[in-house]
Amino acid sequence: MPRKKVATSSLKGLTGASKKALQPLVDEGQAIQVIGRVVNGKLEIDSASISEFNRKFPNAKMTFVAVNAPFDPTPC
């Protein structure tokens, strides 16, 4: 079962209370895993981690993201 495999890996590195607290969520199939890192303040998501939905959905890095400041520094 692919979901079970993902769920188990999401508990890797966790021990004791954390693992116990998360186990029910894993059992419910809630757990997912995203692999990435932050480099020089920029978010980098492992492409293999998101390839399954990148073909089908809008790019989650580019679309439906918050903008709260001016978006064009050139005055109109």
Partner 1 sequence: MDVQTLLNSAPVSSGVMDIARCALSEREPRPDCPRYFHALEAALSEGTPVFATEFYTDTYRTASESGKWLAVSLMSNAEREGDGAKRLWSLAACCNDADDRQLLKRHACDESRHALLYLALLDLAFPGAVSPTFRKELDQLSPHFSMDQELFAVPGSPYAHEPSTDDYMQMNIAEIRTTIHHLMQRQALNAHCPSQNMAKTTKILDMLLRDELSHVAYTAVLIDRNAETASQSDIDARFSKRLRDFNRITEEELEQKVFE
* Residue 27 makes contact with partner 1 by CB under 8 A: no
CB of 53 to partner 1, least distance (A): 5
Q: Which residue type occupies 51?
A: S
Cβ distance 19 to 25 under 8 Å?
no
Residue 66 DSSP class: -
Q: How far from 22 is each of 9, 30, 54, CA to CA, in Å?
A: 12, 10, 27
1, 2, 13, 17: which one binds partner 1 (CB under 8 A): 13
What residues from 57 to 76 belong to the interface with partner 1 (CB under 8 A)?
57-73, 75-76
Question: Which residues of the chain form contacts with partner 1 (CB under 8 A)?
Answer: 10-14, 21-22, 25-26, 28, 30-38, 41-43, 45, 49-50, 52-73, 75-76
